[in-house]
Chains A and B, each alone.
Chain A
Amino acid sequence: MDARAIHKLLANEFGDGVGNFVEQPTEPHIEVDATAIAKVCSYLKENGDLNFEHLSNLTATDYLEENRIRIIYHLHSYKHARWLTLKVAVDRENPHVATLENVYPVANWLEREAYDLVGVNFDGHSDLRRILMPDDWVGHPLRKDFQEPSHYHGISTVRESMLTINRN
């Protein structure tokens, strides 16, 4: 079953919760609504013919010009050796999406990473804290409008280039 057939199946099952199938040469994907993603993934995992039992990757990208953040899910089926990409677009100012933690336990850390670096809020997550950056860090570094602070705890974050330092 190819991605297009899976899209048809999902559209029948979930109606408005599933958006378009985007035929892109390097990354064909299915658009899913933010509120439906957990149900869609649970269906893809449990359905006997699909067996997407592995959440291989979860990440988010900030599209500043569109004023949107896209959360990208890569599902994989070991049984059928098949990939599926889902994308959820959310508002940049107030990005909220349902957590997948209860469907795929691995989502716990992947979602924490997306929250930490891109600032996506995963509703229902049991432990949504920063994971890579320090707790007291301000902002989300992979947002396109992130301004790097000049100092962190009194330590300068910039250093003069080693090539231009005066060697007198």
Chain B
Amino acid sequence: MSVEIELAGEGGGLATEEMVLNMGPQHPSTHGVLRFIVTADGEVMRRAVPDIGYLHRSIEKIAEKVGWHGFMPYTDRVDYVAAMTANQGWAMCAERLGGIEVPKRGEYCRVIAAELGRACSHLLGFGAMGMDIGAITPFTHALREREMINDLLEELCGARLTFNYLRIGGVAWDLPPGYEEKVLRFLDRFELAVDEMGELLSDNRIWVERLAGVAPVPPAMAMAYGLAGPNLRASGVNYDCRKAHPYSVYNDFEFDVPVGTGEKGELGDCYDRYICRLREIRQSSRIVRQAIEKIPDGPVIAKVPRNFKPRAGDCHVVLESARGEMDWYCASDGTEYPYRVHIKTGSFTAMSIMEALSPGLMIADLVAVIASFDIVAPEVDR
């Protein structure tokens, strides 16, 4: 896990001495326990080597010990900022292996919960981004709205962060009475608030100068390093799992996929990553509105045996989490315990690009870059 750095001893001309800085694992702006070993020449980085694993909780190993139903609450901890989609990944794995069809209403409940969760995660993402680069106010605005979404999700499933709302075959509870109107009332106000946040930041000169043109990722590089979700789309690659491989009931909804254009600086820079996230919040809200309008009656969960044993075999499930494409690989040997589970997350690939991206950046920009990728440490380490 530790990284050894060789001190280069070039001393020609007036060159200053290279300096090795340790950033993290305990650092206020690393979004969890992340560590970078930065080799810098003055304020300019020669390279930043990420060192991960501090939050490794062996979730994949736990899966092999707790059984199919029992693993659901652990999936919340894979990405606790957007836990609904992590729940959904696991449910989809088990359903595909077990050949279970989720009732339509159950799928709609999942979409409503997942899209509210996505908005929640993006709010925290850009609120924390503001704080990382020195603006405290956006954080308070974003968190105010996030609290209200947390209230809504709490009403749905009793938890505010690690929801454990989904079950294999559907969702744990139906929408509470009057929930639809409550969500719509919230969205009416929320959309205005998101616009206001956008107005506060998007054309703010300090904000733009701090982000535009910083650490641009060209589309080819984004694909090569497997960047996912808003980070990939910011680089101009129009790919969203919900559109390209519609799962659940995403085919029923109309929504746009915001793509980066380099509008303030270069294509795929920090600003593009910020603006894609902000615009995605509006799209999530659009999906929730349609889901509430179209939600059918019926049961929310299929009949799944308590002693669930899917057939032997393996499957690969991909879904769009708040931090992008989340790949689940699951192998079953036909017993009541999964044989192998592997989760590849958007934060993992975003961390892996940091070393290639860092040469020539200012040390202070490293913080902006981490924030713009919306890296969540537990999702890197699992």
Q: A residues within 8 Å of B by Cβ?
A: 24-27, 53-59, 61-62, 72, 74, 78, 81, 83, 85, 104-106, 108-110, 117, 130-135, 141-142
Contacts and interface: CB of A to CB of B under 8 A. Distances in A.
B245 A57 contact: no
B316 A57 contact: yes
Given A57-B316, A57-B342, A106-B352, A134 B61 contact: no
Given A104-B224, A132-B381, A78 B342 contact: no
Contacts of B351: 109
23 contacts: A26-B97, A26-B314, A26-B315, A53-B223, A56-B318, A56-B327, A61-B314, A74-B327, A78-B237, A104-B226, A105-B224, A105-B352, A106-B224, A106-B225, A106-B349, A109-B349, A109-B351, A132-B1, A133-B1, A134-B1, A134-B53, A141-B58, A141-B61
Contacts, number: 93
A142 B342 CA distance: 11
Contacts of B207: none
A73 to B, nearest CB: 10
Contacts of A134: 1, 53
A57 B329 contact: yes
B325 interface: yes
A27 B345 CA distance: 20
Interface string B325-347: 10101010000000110101000
Given A74-B329, A106-B226, A141-B58, A132 B52 contact: yes
A83 B315 CA distance: 12
Contacts of B360: none
A132 B344 CA distance: 13
Contacts of B60: 117, 142
Given A56-B226, A104-B226, A110-B344, A61 B352 contact: no
A109 B193 CA distance: 39
Given A27-B316, A57-B344, A132 B56 contact: yes
B325 A26 contact: no
Contact of B2 (A58, A106, A132, A135): A135
B331 A61 contact: yes
A27 B313 CA distance: 8
A108 B58 contact: no
A117 to B, nearest CB: 7
Contacts of B342: 57, 59
Contacts of B96: 26
B56 A55 contact: no
A135 B315 CA distance: 31
B: contact size bracket? 35 or more
Nearest to A24: B313
A25 B223 contact: no
Contact of A130 (B1, B237, B313, B318): B1
A30 B1 CA distance: 34
A25 B314 CA distance: 9
A131 B314 CA distance: 25
A27 B56 contact: no
B316 A85 contact: yes
A54 B226 contact: yes
A97 to B, nearest CB: 16
Contact of B223 (A59, A78, A108, A117): A78
A62 B61 CA distance: 12
B56 A56 contact: no
Given A57-B344, A132-B53, A26 B313 contact: yes
B340 A61 contact: yes
Interface string B250-263: 00000000000000
Given A105-B352, A131-B1, 16 more contacts: A24-B313, A26-B315, A27-B316, A53-B224, A54-B223, A55-B226, A56-B327, A57-B342, A61-B340, A72-B314, A83-B318, A85-B316, A110-B344, A133-B1, A142-B61, A142-B340
7 nearest CB pairs, A to B:
A106-B226, A59-B342, A26-B315, A109-B352, A57-B327, A81-B244, A132-B53
